[in-house]
Structures are given as C-alpha cells and as structure tokens.
Structure 1
Amino acid sequence: MVNRSETRANIVGTAARLLREEGAAAVTVRAVAHAAGLQPPALYRFFEDKDALLDAVAEHVFTTYVTEKTHTGGSDDPVADLRAGWDAHLAFGLANPALFGLLVAPGRASPAAEAGLAVLRARVRRIAEAGRLRVPERRAAELVHAAGTGAVLTLLASPPEDRDPGLADALLDAVLRAILTGAPADPPATAPKLTDAERALLAEWLNRR
C-alpha cells in the first residue's frame, strides 16, 4: 500500500514534470491529479490550494538542484564563493525558466526563494567579516539579488542562440565594483560550493512549513 508521504512525493514530482515540460499554466489541480493517477479532490488532502502545491514543487526542485550541484565546504575567499553562488543561480534559472518565474513573481512568498536569499546573505556576511564591503550588508545583498534576478530574466527573454554570454559576468563585475573595497577576485575554477553553515541555514529555511 502506498503511504501518505509516497503519495505526496508522487504529486510533487508529477507537478514538477508538468511545470518543466509544459510551463506554469499546465500545473492545474485537475491536470496534476490526472497525471498522478488521482482524483482532483485527493490533492486537497495534501495541499491547501494550487499555490501551496507550487511552493512544494519549488522547494523540491530547488533542494534537488542544490544537492546535485554543490559540495560541502567553501573556499578561503568569500568573494570567490559569492561568484560561485552567482554562477549557480544563473544555471538554475536558465535550466528552470518556469520555476524561476514563479520564485521571483511579485507578491509571492516562497520558502525556496527565502532559502536562496538566506544563503546569499550569509555569503555577503562573510565578505563583510573579511573587511571587503564598502556598503552595508543589506544593500550589498539586495544589489546582488536584484542583479542576479535581472540577469536571468533578461537572458530568458531571448532565444538561447541570441543571448549575450558575457552579460551576466559584466553585470556581476559592475555590482562587485560598487560594493567591494579593492579589486574583485577572479572567478573560481571549481564547482559552486556551500559552506557547512550555509547548508545548515538552507536546510533550516526549507524545513519550515
């Protein structure tokens, strides 16, 4: 017999597939229930409404991405780690356009989006602790967040073949010049990493219901 947690996981996985393959408009209660082999009323035993389902999908996809694309431990250079996080943010947004649109939609509070912001703030705090910030932490984090969101949305607005491959890096360099003392660090040669503290913070945010 399939238990409650397995049924919930099946619903979320099905909704995530529909979102990836057909976009947000395809993720309706009726469509998800049909694809998951359930009657529509059954979904309301797990999710209050469509928004709650989409939030669960966002958390599922986001945490899966973090698990697959990051490694425990950061570098000794907090600016390099910020660049690595920027690269991960861009890769995630470009790989998941429909989900990214949901995460950054105005007025939509998602635990997954808050988790990402929490990690960004932690990385900015490390830069501040190293004496590298010329602006307050909050302003630095908001500048990086706004630039990263804008970069992804701008790139997604064009077909892949028409995108400027250097746009995102140029934008990050401009932001770093505005918030850092001294020259920004060179991009890291390794894959993006989270420190143990950042991973714990991420888990704390995503475990909140």
Structure 2
Amino acid sequence: MDPTSGRRAAENGLSARERTRRKIIEAAIDLLERGGRDAVTTRAVADAAGLQPPALYRLFGDKEGLLDAVAEHGFAQFLAAKDLTGTDEDPVRELRTGWDTAVEFGLANPALYVLMYGEPTRASAVFRMGLEILMERIRRLAAAGLLRVGEDLAAQIINATARGAVLTWLSLPENARDPALLTTLREAMVSAVTTEEPAVREQGPAGAALALHASLPEQNALTSAEQHLLAEWLKRLYE
C-alpha cells in the first residue's frame, strides 16, 4: 500500500469530528510554515480548511487552543520519526542518532519546531512521552557506566544543544550555514554527557554510583523506601 492510500484508509476510520479537527490542524501547520505564527489567524485557518470560524472555536476554544493542538501534532510527528525500539547495543551511538533525528526534524519543520520548543508552556503529554524516551536512553548510558553527569543534567544538556543547534542554524543566512556546526555541537554534547570508557573502570566511586543508580528501578530486592534512601546516597557520590 502506498503512503497516500494508507493515509486515506486511516482517515476513513476517523469520525467526522476527528477528520475536521485534523483538517484544521493541517491547514494551520501549512500557514505556520509558509507565513510564521502571525499568519495563523482563526479566519485564515478557517478559510484554508474550507470552514467557518465557529468550527474552530467549537473544537479548540480559541487560537491558543489551536496552537496547542498544532504543537501536540508536531510532537506526535516527531515521535513517529524516532526509533523507539531501544535495540541499539551501543548506547553512545544511540545517543548520537537520537540527537541527529531531533535536529533533522527541526530543520525540516522550522516554524513548527519553534512553536513546539520555543514556548515551554506548550509541553504536552506527547512531549512528556518523548522526554521519558530520552530518559530511558540516558539510563542505558548510566547502566553501562558511560554517563559522565547526573541523569537530569544529561537530559538538559542534550535538549539544550539540540535546540541551540536548530535555532542557531535557522538564524543564519543560507550561505553561512556550515554542517560542521551541527557535528561540532553534537560531539560537544557527547563529550559533556558521556565518558570515553565505562566510568566504572575509573578510580573512585562516582562511575559505579552512576551505574548503580540507573539500575535501581530494575531491581526488586529493596523496598521503595530503601530504594529512595540508596538513591540519595548514590547521588551524593556522583554529584
């Protein structure tokens, strides 16, 4: 089945309300990408979707509700583009691949990306799902003894470098965009977050504490209270 017929089949399974909602969101994304956020007015979106403005208000409440739905749709598209299997045996290579995927999505969907990540208040359930996928990958690094910093800081570094890479690239004139910028930022992120060798081989307790901390959710020998206490002790050793 070709992609067009597959999409048509999926749409045929939607209710009339869901089809209308999708049509409005797709019209809004098209306006967003062609004219930026200012182009996304309720009147313009309604016209582009072949509807009257009251239809938008019934489904989304107001323009901000529509933009929230557009951002949610963007996060869902992003997750659909990611490899969620977690089967890569090399967690550092998996980290690089995930970072590249995030940056490539931003470069391919610039206005949508800015809406999704430029306004923290638009974080959604799908966004939080993506963050949990990232945290799982970070925990695999830690369990392998390859995490240089704490898990939360690692997530912040990964997100900050990916967003910074996309927004900086988009701010540059096309003739000034050097792919080395993206590669350099990615490798700086990898160096900041991971160790070249498993940390548990290094002198001192920090690497072993990181690895053990990442493995705590997978064991059942301790009570939840004991796990919490041990986690606090381990964090003191590696932070």
TM-score by length of 2: 0.70
**Pairing partner for 2:174 from 142, 160, 168:** 160
Aligned to 1:206: none
Deviations 1:71-110 (A, max 9, x none): 7453111111111111111111111111111112244232
| Alpha carbons 1:58, 1:103 under 8 Å: kept | yes
Instruction: Quote the residue 1:32 is aligned against.
Output: 45
In the alignment, the residues of structure 2 paired with residue 73 and residue 47 of structure 1 have an alpha-carbon distance, to the nearest angstrom, of 35
Using the alignment, how far apart are the partners of 2:197 and 2:188 within structure 1?
A: 11
Partner AA of 1:103 in structure 2 = M
Deviation at 1:55, TM superposition (A): 2.1
Aligned to 1:62: 75
Aligned length: 183
* Counterpart among 128, 141, 155 of residue 141 in structure 1: 155
The reply on whether 1:118 has 2:132 as its aligned counterpart is yes
* Partner residue, 1:91: 104
Q: Deviations over 1:5-46 (max 9, x none)?
A: 111111111111111222211111111111111111221111
User: 1:69 deviation in Å?
Assistant: 5.8
The equivalent of 1:150 in structure 2 is 164
The whole-number CA distance in structure 2 between the counterparts of 1:69 and 1:179 is 21
Distance in structure 1 (CA, Å) of the matches to 2:118 and 2:96? 24
1:174-193 superposed matches below 5 A: 174-182=188-196
Q: Which amino acid aligns with 2:28?
A: A
2:146 equivalent among 107, 110, 132:
132
| Residues 1:14 and 1:88: Cα distance change in structure 2 (over 3 Å) | same
**Going by fraction, where is helix more abundant, 1 or 2?**
2
1:6 aligns with 2:19: yes
Partners of 1:104 and 1:113 within 8 A in 2: no
Greater gyration radius: 2
Aligned amino acid, residue 183 of structure 2 = D
Q: CA deviation at 1:171?
A: 1.5
Residues 91 and 28 (structure 1 numbering): CA distance in 2 closer, same or farther, change over 3 Å? Answer: same
Amino acid at match of 1:60: H
**Which residue matches 1:50?**
63
Identical-residue share of aligned pairs (%): 49
* In 2, Cα distance between equivalents of 1:137 and 1:65: 22
What TM-score results when the alignment is normalised by the length of structure 1?
Answer: 0.79
Q: What secondary structure does 1:134 align onto?
A: coil
Corresponding residue SS for 1:4: helix
Quick check: 26-35 or 167-176, which moved more?
167-176
- With 116-125 and 23-32 compared, the bigger mean Cα shift is at 116-125
1:172 aligns with 2:186: yes
* CA shift for structure 1 position 131: 1.2
Task: Please say which of residues 54-63 and 123-132 is displaced more in the overlay.
Answer: 54-63
